[in-house]
């Protein structure tokens, strides 16, 4: 697939660490990436910083959230949980008919090392309640740290992908692979509770053992990478 046929990706909350890390990897792979922010100036600054890192050939732009999502084929949400509902409600109309990859984790400070799931069961299921069935939703990238994403090497951890359909999970897994990562189809969106809950566990392990980038790795299954 040449660059001209690759989908355009919008990263809402892309000025944060996780969003920048994903944008960096996809831009290196030739994707057009639009960094979204409530403040267009912040989005433009983040895009400029990433272009400086990736080189002038990188197709990275900045835009206000609505504009970024409208331009994209796939929208990636990397906002803090406190902003999750408000952000999705503001983008509900423009997201219809698209794939949303939700990277948000239900962390509720100060107890971020304890799993605290929302009433819907998971953040991804909450997104489905907000947006309706006109949007395909996948959960992915919750268990990989910014430090892994921004490094120019293959991280020693995997990405679990859950979602509303097999087709949506397959499309998300292609983006996982394009980012240089190993992904696994982890089943329907109801399984997101496990994927999201692992993040608090990994934060606890980081604190307990003095690390910053604990991850997970699937064993006992033939690997593609």
Number of structural domains the chain divides into: 1
| 220 is a domain residue | no
pTM of the shown model:
0.95
Average pLDDT, the chain: 94
- pLDDT tens, position by position, 60-97: 999 999 999 999 999 999 999 999 999 999 999 999 99
| 10 is a domain residue | yes
> What pLDDT does 150 receive?
81
> What pLDDT does 219 receive?
93
| 152 is a domain residue | yes
| 95 is a domain residue | yes
Q: What is the DSSP letter of 117?
A: -
Give the CATH number for residue 114. 3.40.50.720
pLDDT at 4 over 70: no
Give 200's contacts (C-beta < 8 A, 6+ positions apart).
105, 107, 112, 113, 114, 115, 116
| 65 is a domain residue | yes
- pLDDT tens, position by position, 172-194: 999 999 999 999 999 999 999 99
Cα→Cα distances 81→109, 123, 153, 162, Å: 10, 8, 29, 18
> What pLDDT does 1 receive?
56
HSE of 83, CA atoms in CB hemisphere, 13 A: 15
HSE of 157, CA atoms in CB hemisphere, 13 A: 16
| 222 is a domain residue | no
What range defines the domain where residue 20 resides? Answer: 3-209
| 138 is a domain residue | yes
- pLDDT tens, position by position, 116-159: 999 999 999 999 999 999 999 999 999 998 778 887 777 888 99
| 219 is a domain residue | no
């Amino acid at each position: 697939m040449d660059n001209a046929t690759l989908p355009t990706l919008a990263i809402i909350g892309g000025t944060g660490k996780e969003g920048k890390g994903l944008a960096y990897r996809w831009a290196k792979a030739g994707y057009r990436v639009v960094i979204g922010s409530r403040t267009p100036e912040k989005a433009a600054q983040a895009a400029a910083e990433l272009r400086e890192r990736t080189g002038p050939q990188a197709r990275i732009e900045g835009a206000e959230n609505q504009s970024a999502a409208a331009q994209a084929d796939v929208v990636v949400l990397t906002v803090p949980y406190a902003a999750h509902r408000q952000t999705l409600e503001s983008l509900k109309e423009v997201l219809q008919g698209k794939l949303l990859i939700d990277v948000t984790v239900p962390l509720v400070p100060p107890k971020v090392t304890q799993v605290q799931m929302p009433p819907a069961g998971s953040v991804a299921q909450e997104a489905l309640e907000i947006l309706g069935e006109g949007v395909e939703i996948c959960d992915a990238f919750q268990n990989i740290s910014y430090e892994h994403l921004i490094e120019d090497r293959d991280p020693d951890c995997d990405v679990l992908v859950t979602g509303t359909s097999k087709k949506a999970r397959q499309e998300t897994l292609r983006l996982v692979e394009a980012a240089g990562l190993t992904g696994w189809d982890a089943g329907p969106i109801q399984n997101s509770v496990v994927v999201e809950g692992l993040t608090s566990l990994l934060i606890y392990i980081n604190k307990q053992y003095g690390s910053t980038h604990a991850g997970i790795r699937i064993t006992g299954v033939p690997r593609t990478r």
